[in-house]
Amino acid sequence: MSHPANESSVDVLVVGAGPAGLMCAYGLAKAGVNVRIVEKRADKIAAGQADGIQPRTIEVLQSYGLAERLLREACQLHRVAFYHPGPNGGVERVARIPDVTAPTARYPFEATLHQGAIEDIFIDAMQPLGLVVERQTVPVSMQLSKDPAELNDPNAYPVKVVLQHLDSNATQGDAETETIHAKFVVGADGAHSWVRKSLGIAMEGAQTEYIWGVLDLVPETDFPDVRSRCAIHSANGSCMIIPREGDGIRLYVQLSDTDVVDPATGRVDPTKMGPSEILEVARRSLHPYTIATPKEFEWSTIYISAYILWLDQHLGALMMELTVMHDTVGQRVASQFSANERVFIAGDACHTHSPKAGQGMNASMSDSHNLVWKLAQVLRGTADMSLLKT
């Protein structure tokens, strides 16, 4: 398919280079599909964000030959401990059980590794395949053909996307543009997905809010289970401890409205609760155990999480909505996952999750893993387009 200099064609255009987008692009490239992946960020994530890897996700990564590096770099979580209020005003351990109880789990543990390092695993594996993330590149328009014959022809290019290539000195209005003709587009561009909004797909759910502070740090503490995953409920509040790679941990600390809400506006003011203040709240939950203030915090943020009753009864009862700092991300589920099986959304673009449950990144990569093999078979001509409806 020939085009002018500022136009090109591709089998699959992936928008977004987080875990879902990278899994999709790498899997397609490994299957021999002509794929491009674009990302608005200039750099990958350096710290924080998602970090929990479930056993099934490790299996998926192993099928791509990527699990060995993950397990070499990650922290393995084999035990989970539970602490409740004790008779002397502090907390005491009431149970300690295996972190993964499924007897058939090939990997009977969870793993933690920060999102930037997980992205590196994909990015490094893509290089020998000649695939790189095209950064500072954003879609600005997308047109999907309405011709049924074109939509049903796996060899047609029914999606037209205009991209803008930005640099540090250019605004979107001055940026160079390129027109892409794609057989398929995958929107893996996060909770505020441009692709999803362009398709007019709604997110569904209902919510009530809770506020959590999150810290990544290397602890100096006498807490006995600091290298186990811990759920701590005390008379002074609740927190969770998640061991991280190296000697680090992640703390999830439940905050009250008075900790972070500006009474004048009724809105969350993150300047009221920095990492030192979040740690002080955690100390009250950990009493009688102590944790020192580190020389530096690796990463911190505030989440507003809310219990969500998903409208899809097959997905089960109460889930949680996520809002990050000033941004409302909303842990909800999309009303549909594709447009005519030509433009798909994956990862946070179609569902968001509680940061404490370790679900979001795992579900995102599983979305892409499921989509990759179907797209590859359709593009090879070994499966009908109807496979993409499943």
Q: Is 227 a catalytic residue?
A: no
From the candidates 210, 252, 303, 342, give the one annotated as an active-site residue.
252
52: tokens are 């929990």
How many degrees, rounded to 5, is the angle at CA 302 between CA 365 and CA 81?
Answer: 70
Q: Is 108 a catalytic residue?
A: no
Within 10 angstroms of residue 384's Cβ, the number of other Cβ atoms is 12
Place of tokens 């893993």: 369
From the candidates 19, 26, 36, 51, give the one annotated as an active-site residue.
51
Q: Is 355 a catalytic residue?
A: yes
Q: Does 243 sit behind a cis peptide bond, omega within 30 degrees of 0 on the bond before it?
A: no
* Residue (of 305, 299, 308, 310) closest to 355 by Cα position: 305
* Helix (H), strand (E), coil (C) string for the chain: CCCCCCEEEEEEEEECCCHHHHHHHHHHHHCCCCEEEEECCCCCCCCCCCCEECHHHHHHHHHCCCHHHHHHHCEEECEEEEEEECCCCCEEEEEEEECCCCCCCCCCCEEECCHHHHHHHHHHHHHHHCCCEEECEEEEEEEECCCHHHHCCCCCCCEEEEEEECCCCCCHHHCEEEEEEEEEEEECCCCCCHHHHHHCCCEECCEEEEEEEEEEECCCECCCCCCCEEEEEECCEEEEEEECCCCCEEEEEEECHHHHECCCCCCECHHHCCHHHHHHHHHHHHCCCCECCCCCCCEEEEEEEEEEECCCHHHCCEEEEEEECCEECCCCEECCCEECCCEEECHHHCECCCCCCCCHHHHHHHHHHHHHHHHHHHHHCCCCHHHHHC
What residue type is assigned to position 278 of the chain? I
56: tokens are 């099934």
* Residue (of 33, 139, 161, 74) closest to 361 by Cα position: 74
From the candidates 36, 229, 244, 283, give the one annotated as an active-site residue.
244
From the candidates 36, 216, 355, 367, give the one annotated as an active-site residue.
355
State the catalytic residues: 51, 244, 252, 355
